[in-house]
Structure 1
Amino acid sequence: MHNRVGRALLALSAVLALLMAGPATTATADTIQTGNTVCSMYVNSTGFGAYCTSGSAYLGDGTPPPTWRERLDGKPFVPCRNFPIPDGIHLPQAPEGKKWVLRVTITDYDLNTYNGGNKAHLERAYMPVNAEEEAQCPEPDYMDQFWTRFKSTYPTPALVVKPTFTPRVNIPAFFSLTKESSEQYKTTGELSGYYDPQHNLTMRGMVVEMKVDPGDGTAPFTCLMGTTPADDPDGYDETQDPFHQMNTCKHKYAKSSASQPDGMYTVKLTIIWEVSYWIGRDAGGWHSIGKATVTAVQRLPVQEVQAIGG
């Protein structure tokens, strides 16, 4: 997969500052179950992740996989676990003497199965708890095998400007993001808990839209983003001049930035991430969980030069 964003990471004269949109909301997918694992996933303006239950991966040794009861070896099953509130979630102040936790609970499980049974699923709740309420979900070491948690934050945006990083007056400037800053993968890998190599959960965050306010008083414009071939990662054809490009993510500055603070325009970016998941060789491909918005700013110098060179 190659996002419609450049691979070449340019040295920027001003660092992109990531500004979180808030208050953030969380979009979640239905709990999924494949092979030996049940997972609940989330996406918000800070990043995405999943909470899974089943235990260590079972790759097979010729015998049936052990049931949950067998793995407990006579110890009590604790179906809930408290986690920190995911980054990007904003909650009111907790009542006095309490704190907020994300409580994930395994429900409708069957201990006599290797994966909790077909009805097993996860339920999530943001709860204010005191010490006694928090202790309702103890975390004995032997229960660690049933829980897997992973998360990923969005990378800091890295803006690519073509044909030169410093745009010229009256010459179209084309905007994109580097692949490294517009596509993020996360997988549980060997700890996925799925019972064979064909079952592993992969999550992907990808920029699908970028709104650009060029900072010169003109109206913002929106750029749709997606996948492109490996030989055209940023959508800019180096064999053609700036006036003969198919890429529509462009802006033409009418005057230089000399009169602006520090001699640079302040470009505001509104970036839409879409997070999806994929399981093994799932014929259905990627399944969308939801979208999240991230904003950023970029200081950009524009020169009063009529030529492209430089």
Structure 2
Amino acid sequence: MHNRVGRALLALSAVLALLMAGPATTAAAETIQTGASVCSMYVNSTGFGAYCSNGSAYLGPDTGEPPPTWRQRLNGRPFVPCRDFEIPKGIRLPQAPEGKKWVLRVTITDYNLDTYDGGDAAHLERAYVPVSPAEEAQCPFPPYMQPFWHEFRSSYPPPALVVKPTFTPRVNIPAYFSLTADSSRVLADRSNPGAYSGYIDPRHNLTMRALVVEMTVDPGDGTKPFKCLMGVTPLDDPDGYDETKDPNDQLNPCKHIYKRSSASQPDGMYTVKLTITWEVSYWVGKGEGGWNPIGQANVTAVQRLPVQEVQAIGG
């Protein structure tokens, strides 16, 4: 039984600075077919997202007839298979040639216009290309092509470190580290598919999530960094710390014992370096197959942490 009286999350976010370790290339990418859509998903050190073809649900009359084919939707207008997007944050690219700019060009290939979803062979190809105005005009995006595309993305929240049992660790007493629930996961709200999901129809949609699965802590006192496995924790006990037990009797292994106070350090605080590993997964349809991991990416952050000598009662 956990004692919740007077308990609060002691998030030290006021002195937490999110520091990206420079722009990074895409950590992972995957293309899947879901319902009437083909989706290309990506993960990097800034966030995650997806670009989907035919991303809008068909909202025509419910006559029992199959959805219209792509050709019928076009109604005689040309199909433009490519679309240019801004370069996702976190991607490192050299300077574009003079008079050009970098774009993420996503192209639907091997499609069949006489199907409602582009056919089984349809897939997306991604390329980072420098384009001039004339080259950019070769891939226009007329309004009638909007129903064939859907884009969504999310960035990782700034990390908010929790330290127990006290806001300021004490010398020779274990300090337990965790992240607040809000800063350790990004979950799609499936009741609002447009927020993070490519909604296709009542049976098919793409939902993505990110969870912190590992955190490496460099305590800043000259000792070696240590790794902490992370994951989904109960909402009523996000930090895994039992207030009813002594600090030396906790089950949470993510801990460090400072042997000296931080009084001699700059500003009287240790510089704690965090490496936070995010794992991104996707969920299709009603999720019978569960979450499917795409890949992982690391985010680095710095925490300034004061450590004090043990004080006597009343001190």
TM-score over 0.5 for the pair? yes
The structural deviation recorded for 1:145 is 1.2
- Range moving further from structure 2, 62-71 or 215-224: 62-71
Q: CA separation in 1, counterparts of 2:161 and 2:76?
A: 56
SS at match of 1:31: strand
Pairwise mapping of residues 63-74 of structure 1 onto structure 2 (< 5 A)? 63-74=65-76
SS at match of 2:134: helix
- Range moving further from structure 2, 21-30 or 265-274: 21-30
The structural deviation recorded for 1:198 is 2.5
Could you say which residue in structure 2 is the equivalent of 1:95? Answer: 97
**Equivalent position to 2:145, from 143, 146, 167:** 143
Cα-to-partner distance string for 1:139-161 (whole Å, 9 max, x where unaligned): 11111111111111110000000
The structural deviation recorded for 1:309 is 9.3
Q: Does 1:56 align with 2:61?
A: no
Pairwise mapping of residues 12-51 of structure 1 onto structure 2 (< 5 A)? 12=12, 14-51=14-51
Please give the root-mean-square deviation of Cα atoms over the aligned residues, in Å.
Answer: 2.1
Pairwise mapping of residues 269-284 of structure 1 onto structure 2 (< 5 A)? 269-284=274-289
The structural deviation recorded for 1:16 is 1.3
The question of whether the paired residues in 2 share the 8 Å contact of 1:8 and 1:178 is answered with no
Could you say which residue in structure 1 is the equivalent of 2:3? Answer: none
The question of whether the paired residues in 1 share the 8 Å contact of 2:214 and 2:227 is answered with yes
| Structure 1 residue runs of 4 or more that deviate by more than 6 Å after TM superposition | 307-310
Q: CA separation in 2, counterparts of 1:239 and 1:93?
A: 57
The structural deviation recorded for 1:218 is 1.1
Could you say which residue in structure 1 is the equivalent of 2:224? Answer: 219
Stretches of structure 2 lacking an aligned partner (at least 5 in a row): 1-6
SS at match of 1:207: strand
Could you say which residue in structure 2 is the equivalent of 1:192? Answer: 198
SS at match of 2:77: coil
Cα-to-partner distance string for 1:90-145 (whole Å, 9 max, x where unaligned): 10111111111100000111111111111111000000111111111001111111
Could you say which residue in structure 2 is the equivalent of 1:10? Answer: 10
The structural deviation recorded for 1:302 is 1.0
Q: CA separation in 2, counterparts of 1:40 and 1:108?
A: 15
The question of whether the paired residues in 2 share the 8 Å contact of 1:168 and 1:307 is answered with no
Could you say which residue in structure 1 is the equivalent of 2:4? Answer: none
Q: How many residues are aligned here?
A: 303
TM-score with structure 1 setting the length: 0.92
Could you say which residue in structure 2 is the equivalent of 1:78? Answer: 80
- Which residue type is aligned with residue 31 of structure 2? T
The question of whether the paired residues in 2 share the 8 Å contact of 1:14 and 1:298 is answered with no
Could you say which residue in structure 2 is the equivalent of 1:120? Answer: 122
- Which residue type is aligned with residue 284 of structure 2? I
Q: CA separation in 1, counterparts of 2:96 and 2:28?
A: 23
The structural deviation recorded for 1:305 is 1.4
SS at match of 1:294: strand
Q: CA separation in 2, counterparts of 1:170 and 1:10?
A: 20
Q: CA separation in 1, counterparts of 2:221 and 2:158?
A: 24
Of all paired residues, the percent bearing the same amino acid is: 76
Q: CA separation in 2, counterparts of 1:308 and 1:206?
A: 40
The question of whether the paired residues in 1 share the 8 Å contact of 2:170 and 2:258 is answered with yes
Q: CA separation in 1, counterparts of 2:242 and 2:130?
A: 55
Could you say which residue in structure 2 is the equivalent of 1:3? Answer: none
SS at match of 2:15: coil
TM-score with structure 2 setting the length: 0.90
Task: Indicate how the Cα distance of structure 1 residues 103 and 228 shifts in structure 2: closer, same or farther if over 3 A, else same.
Answer: same
The question of whether the paired residues in 2 share the 8 Å contact of 1:168 and 1:308 is answered with no
The structural deviation recorded for 1:8 is 5.6
Stretches of structure 1 lacking an aligned partner (at least 5 in a row): 1-6
The structural deviation recorded for 1:28 is 3.3
The question of whether the paired residues in 2 share the 8 Å contact of 1:37 and 1:193 is answered with no
Q: CA separation in 1, counterparts of 2:251 and 2:135?
A: 59
